[in-house]
Amino acid sequence: MNLSTDALNLPASELARLDASFPARDVAVGGGAAVSVRECGQGPAIVCLHGIGSGAASWIDTAALLASQARVIAWDAPGYGSSTPLEADAPAAADYAARLGALLDALEIDSCVLVGHSLGAITAASAARGDARILRLVLVSPAIGYGAASRAEARAKVRTERLATLDELGIAGMAAKRSGRLVSDKASEHARQWVRWNMARLNDHGYRRPSNCCATPTCWPTCRRPCRCAWPAARSTWSRPRRPAKKWRASAECGSNWWTMRATPAMWSNRRPSRSC
């Protein structure tokens, strides 16, 4: 298989399923900016934020599970998909949270459950600090980041390696050669296709800018909203489990309880808790 070409593709049946069940649209959020979202279902709003190497479409199977009882909205973060990038060259979590707030305004969402995965959990925690519309906060495999002064060396190394990989391989090359790191060794080819396709749709600038969130002071101590931190169960064949010590660290800093969620193909086919973000 020539992954450098095939990594960009999904079966036509899967693309049709995505467009039919979880369609995308652009939402104007003011100042000439727009946010691309995928949405389905009716009921209480559940807003989903993806990780650094993914996009709104990664939530398709989760949305299918919840659509009968909730309005599920997944964004393409600024700089992802057709979403307008943030103006700052090195935006912080608060900048992404501000754009999320503008999206909630535009969608006229009065209350929601906010779900953040990996890097998206950093944005979610930042948004929950002062937005009363966020009634519940769910952090799935939350990235902790390398913002602490004691982690300066690790911060520089991770960011340098991530951007060097992008420079060397490009987006298509990363999707073909590195997307396998986002799922377990036992993941199905169907799951791998989705992960490769999502990563292949990244924009260069959109991927570079969020790296700064990993290099800023952690947002967990400032998150005072009751929340739960969820990790895929260790036996999941769909994603790689985070080390227990990091569960306790993120949960303690956030003042939350952590719990292990039994993973299923529909919930975790495109997700893995990364070691950083």
Residue 36 in tokens? 């691309």
275 belongs to a structural domain? no
* Per-residue pLDDT, 222: 52
CATH number of the domain where residue 14 is located = 3.40.50.1820
Residue 155 in tokens? 């911060």
Domain that holds residue 204: 3-268
Q: pLDDT-based confidence at 190, cuts 50/70/90?
A: confident
Q: Give 154-178 pLDDT, tens digit per residue.
A: 767 777 888 888 889 989 888 888 8
- Does the pTM exceed 0.85? no
* Per-residue pLDDT, 185: 79
pLDDT at residue 215 is higher than 70: no
* Per-residue pLDDT, 268: 40
* Per-residue pLDDT, 202: 93
Distance CA 36, CA 27 (A): 6
22 belongs to a structural domain? yes
31 belongs to a structural domain? yes
58 belongs to a structural domain? yes
Q: Give 236-252 pLDDT, tens digit per residue.
A: 334 444 444 444 444 54
Q: Give 109-165 pLDDT, tens digit per residue.
A: 999 999 998 889 889 989 998 899 998 888 887 776 666 666 667 767 777 888 888
276 belongs to a structural domain? no
H-run or E-run covering 243 = none
* Per-residue pLDDT, 39: 98
pLDDT at residue 262 is higher than 50: no
Render the burial of 24-44: b for 16+ CB within 10 Å, e for the rest: beebebeeebbbbbbbbbeeb
* Of 61-70, 85-94, 129-138, 147-156, minimum mean pLDDT range: 147-156
What SS3 class is residue 68?
A: coil
277 belongs to a structural domain? no
Residue 236 corresponds to which amino acid? S
- Exposed (0-12), middle (13-18) or buried (19+): which is 97, by Cβ within 10 Å? buried
222, 147 contact by CB (below 8 A): no
Give the count of domains, the chain: 1
pLDDT at residue 210 is higher than 50: yes
273 belongs to a structural domain? no
